[in-house]
Amino acid sequence: MAQEPLEAPRDDAFLPGEIEALKRQVDELSNQLRRAEKRIQALGGQLDEAPAAPTSKSDLELKVLAGQLERQAMLLERDEQVARELQKNLTPVLDEELEGVKFAIETRSGTRVGGDFYDVINLSDKFAAFVIADVSGHGLPAAVIMATGRLAFRTAAANELNARKIMDQVNKAMLRSTLAGHYLTAFLGVLDTELLTLQYVNASHCSPFVVRDSEVIPLDTKGLFVGMFEDPHYEQKGMQLEQHDRLFLYTDGLLQGFKGEDRLACQAKLAECLREYGLLSIEELVHNLVGLGPDHEDDAAALGIELLLEKAQRKTITIPSLPRELTHAEDAILPVLENKGYGERAIFGVKLALEEAAINAIKHGNQLDDTKKVTIAFAIDEDRVLISVADEGEGFNPGDVPDPTDEDRLLAASGRGLALIRAYMDEVSFNEVGNEITMIKYAPWAAATHS
């Protein structure tokens, strides 16, 4: 089952020019709000100091001011409606074609419009990204930043499978396009729906949870707010998921339903509820948790994800004969080794061998013809990882490749790739034609028995 080339996801909610126009409108409305607050304060002072029988002049001034405030209130009410409408229009339609993955969504409106948003992005036929975020502030400014953030995530994820790289690109985009003081917290996960591996980055957002039977596992990484710092130091982590695992993502408005001294205490109580409600359907679980507590000031959003499919034992990735496309294969394979417990040295060896094999297939097998494909197959079990790389060329006889360690070949520019592959991998073989190489790397805990 080959992976289709990555295509940019369609995003027709807003164009960049429309975002800029909305931001200019936000600036003007913010100035109007500040002027209104000053007038309210002045009116309050005048009312406190006004005599029991005000003069006609002061009475007229108060009436004029009251009329101005009434008009200002109408403008602010209109802006609140615009923010709600913007928030509603940005709610994504979940992709029903993501086979074997069930989603449940629940939102709760607060007394003020917030900047909560979530999204599910189909990166390719076997990869999906999901994000949940919360923008600082309320009202129309928060709604506009929400629209900007959603567009930034979809743009960054257009041709990328690495969660940390996506978050870095979003951070740069938000720094360029938002006003000072506006930022967002965000959690981003990239799911391989074949191997059920999850790579994730948490940028100071509330800890999502993986619910597995009675176990509740928080998903936290190091990383600062999005859109505030040039170098937020995002950390990426990975996790091997299993069939029937559930992921629960939410914004901090949900925590208002729990009584606790701080966010950590509220998250601990939320984890207990996830254990208690673990036997409910994913829809009932999300609905019950979002409905906890009375009405609150902040909006709240929750995204539940349940995996219904079994983990595949083998993955096949097809890329065009372009060296830059190799990163997609690396992003799919190397995190699985990390999740499995392979050390840095072993992962480095697999990475180098994969690169050498793929570059040889692109350069020598397919002769740099980008209409021809390179097929990379990957399988992992408890004791070893197997990777094969095949091209569409005529093949070659590996026995004809000279040994680069021979004295008369020390300065030769070719032949080193195959030697490096054999040095870093435990077993290397070719098919009869010579256009497919198969490489095996034993796990560190099993290498001694195969040496």
Question: How many folded domains does the chain comprise?
Answer: 3
Which of 288, 307, 326 is the last residue before a domain boundary?
Answer: 307
Question: Residue 205: inside a domain, yes or no?
Answer: yes
pLDDT surpassing 70 at residue 97: no
Which of 291, 307, 323 is the last residue before a domain boundary?
Answer: 307
**CATH at residue 340:** 3.30.565.10
| Average pLDDT, integer, range 260-281 | 87
Q: What is the predicted pLDDT for the residue at 9?
A: 39
Q: Which residue would you say has higher pLDDT here, 346 or 89?
A: 346
**Whether residue 354 sits in one domain with residue 265:** no
| Average pLDDT, integer, range 361-377 | 94
* pLDDT bracket for residue 312 (50, 70, 90): confident
Question: Residue 8: inside a domain, yes or no?
Answer: no
pLDDT surpassing 60 at residue 125: yes
**Whether residue 255 sits in one domain with residue 112:** yes
Which of 68, 86, 104 is the last residue before a domain boundary?
Answer: 86
**Whether residue 384 sits in one domain with residue 326:** yes
Give the span between the Cα atoms of 130 and 438, in whole angstroms: 34
* pLDDT bracket for residue 1 (50, 70, 90): very low
Among the listed ranges 83-97, 249-263, 294-308, which one has the minimum average pLDDT value? 83-97
Q: What is the predicted pLDDT for the residue at 426?
A: 95
Among the listed ranges 60-74, 225-239, 369-383, which one has the minimum average pLDDT value? 60-74
Q: What is the predicted pLDDT for the residue at 185?
A: 94
Parallel, antiparallel, or unpaired: how do β-strands 127-135 and 373-380 relate?
unpaired
- What's the alpha-carbon Rg for the chain, to the nearest Å? 28
**Whether residue 137 sits in one domain with residue 168:** yes
**Whether residue 164 sits in one domain with residue 125:** yes
**CATH at residue 290:** 3.60.40.10
| Average pLDDT, integer, range 283-298 | 78
Question: Residue 3: inside a domain, yes or no?
Answer: no
* pLDDT bracket for residue 8 (50, 70, 90): very low
Q: Which residue would you say has higher pLDDT here, 427 or 292?
A: 427
**Whether residue 408 sits in one domain with residue 388:** yes
Question: Residue 136: inside a domain, yes or no?
Answer: yes
Question: Residue 217: inside a domain, yes or no?
Answer: yes
* pLDDT bracket for residue 306 (50, 70, 90): very high
**Whether residue 168 sits in one domain with residue 261:** yes
* pLDDT bracket for residue 7 (50, 70, 90): very low
Q: Which of 325, 365, 333, 366 is nearest to 349 (CA)?
A: 333
Q: Which residues pair with 374 in a beta bridge?
A: 319
**Whether residue 230 sits in one domain with residue 98:** yes
Question: Residue 46: inside a domain, yes or no?
Answer: yes
* pLDDT bracket for residue 44 (50, 70, 90): low
Q: What is the predicted pLDDT for the residue at 179?
A: 72
Among the listed ranges 63-77, 195-209, 335-349, 390-404, which one has the minimum average pLDDT value? 63-77
- What's the domain range around 400? 314-450
**Whether residue 152 sits in one domain with residue 244:** yes
Q: What is the predicted pLDDT for the residue at 436?
A: 96
pLDDT digits (tens, 9 = 90+) for 130-169: 999 998 876 667 777 888 888 899 999 988 889 999 999 9
Percent of the chain with pLDDT over 90: 43
Question: Residue 9: inside a domain, yes or no?
Answer: no
**Whether residue 170 sits in one domain with residue 211:** yes
Burial class (CB in 10 A: 0-12, 13-18, 19+), 303: buried
* pLDDT bracket for residue 12 (50, 70, 90): very low
pLDDT digits (tens, 9 = 90+) for 259-269: 767 888 899 99
Q: What is the predicted pLDDT for the residue at 2?
A: 45
* pLDDT bracket for residue 392 (50, 70, 90): very high
pLDDT surpassing 60 at residue 96: no
Q: Which residue would you say has higher pLDDT here, 342 or 3?
A: 342
**Whether residue 36 sits in one domain with residue 123:** no
**Whether residue 133 sits in one domain with residue 100:** yes
pLDDT surpassing 50 at residue 6: no
pLDDT surpassing 50 at residue 410: no
Question: Residue 5: inside a domain, yes or no?
Answer: no
Average pLDDT taken over every residue of the chain: 80
Decide: 423 and 373 in contact? Cβ < 8 Å: no
* pLDDT bracket for residue 225 (50, 70, 90): very high
Q: What is the predicted pLDDT for the residue at 283?
A: 92
